[in-house]
Amino acid sequence: MSERTVPADQSTARTPNDTALQAAWMRFLDFDRASIRQKNSQHRIRIPIIVLMFFASVLAVGITYAASIDIIQDLRPILRIALIVIPLVAAGLLAYAYQFSPSLAWITYRLGAEEIRQHIYLYRMQAGKYASRNLEEQQQLLLDNVQDASNRVHEIGAPVPFLKLTFATEPVKAATDTPEDDGYSALTADEYARLRVIPQSEWYLRKLEENYTKLRRWRIAILVVTGLSSAVAALGGEPLVAVTTALGLAFSQFIDLKMYGHTYANYHHTAGRLIDEVSEWRILPAAKRQDPAYYSPFVERIERIFEDERNNWMRQAVQAQTANEQAIMRQLGREPFDFAALTFATLPQSTDHAPSTTDDNDDTEPGATPVDVTPPPGGP
């Protein structure tokens, strides 16, 4: 834990001049941007690898059946060279990716960013461990939690070039869910539900609909390719069967890379839990909704739901990326790397709340002894 002393200035607490809150938002933005850059970099490198391996499969088929096709037979020497060069280029790209764009880096940054955002809202609401503390203790706790989240991100060895830490002397524009939330002011529980919970619920619902639409399109494409393979096989077109099979594999790898379908159930379940919590909250009398004895547990339950979603998302993201990486390694004729041995032991885990292994009706109070369950946008 940090031993820094944070001056407690009541006049600037939970305002754009709150230095502790500024520092938290700065670190959130650093991790958020790093996650986006890392994810984009990962896709820019791995999509060409998938395309190259498909073309390598096509070339292998062409060389195999070159004797029966005059045009291809004349190009056979060129095809042989290409069949050697393309896998080498793909292997080189993969080696570069492992060094500068590992699959787990963007996941790690995203988890770190969302953990910090969770503490920002707990601090603004003075809920959870921030309740019943004076301002100096609250600010110190916020900075300590930001530092702990940062340490967990760095423990996995996320590549430094993608992380550009900033130090600003002016208020940072907070990355809130709605424009009317400045990211600094103290919130009432009703404002918290309106500005934090409801927009996030809508984000989950919007994303799962987009996710389902994209997954359906790609699954239809795979079904069409599979149907073509069967038809071509029945007509005796063995070379085209190999090509359509390779195309179906490429489509499946792209789906895993983009995580289409992997987060659908998680987002749906999370949105439902959030809507239920807000609905139950709104039936309380106004006096109770303003009472810390009621709104502090409400905020803790909401933030635990977000944390459960993050942990589940992490598990799904790791599984999807692992499947993608191992498929590529097999195509290259290399031993697949065991990502699971690295991932679940080293990806950052929040220390404030445990991923829940019980149903939604569990009566365990927020802040109870964590249950060790390893899972994730991310959030958004």
pLDDT at 132: 85
Distance CA 116, CA 113 (A): 5
- pLDDT tens figures, 295-316: 999 999 999 999 999 999 988 8
Distance CA 262, CA 258 (A): 9
- Tell me the pLDDT band of 10, cut-offs 50, 70 and 90: low
The verdict on residue 162 lying in a domain is yes
The verdict on residue 361 lying in a domain is no
Distance CA 354, CA 371 (A): 5
The verdict on residue 328 lying in a domain is yes
The verdict on residue 276 lying in a domain is yes
Q: Residue 66 carries which DSSP code?
A: G
Which range, of 2-6, 74-78, 314-318, averages the lowest pLDDT? 2-6
pLDDT at 356: 37
Number of other CB atoms surrounding residue 68 within 10 Å: 9
> How far, in Å, are 132, 289, 297 from residue 292 at the CA level?
10, 8, 8
Q: State what percent of residues in the chain have pLDDT above 90.
A: 33
- Tell me the pLDDT band of 344, cut-offs 50, 70 and 90: very low
The verdict on residue 373 lying in a domain is no
pLDDT surpassing 50 at residue 38: yes
pLDDT surpassing 70 at residue 371: no
Half-sphere exposure of 280 (CA within 13 A, CB side): 13
Total domains present in the chain: 1
- pLDDT tens figures, 96-112: 887 777 778 888 899 99
Crossing angle (nearest 10°) for helices 339-346 and 103-125: 20
Q: Residue 364 carries which DSSP code?
A: P
Structural domain harbouring 211: 19-346
Q: What average pLDDT does the structure give for the chain?
A: 78
The verdict on residue 353 lying in a domain is no
pLDDT at 9: 47
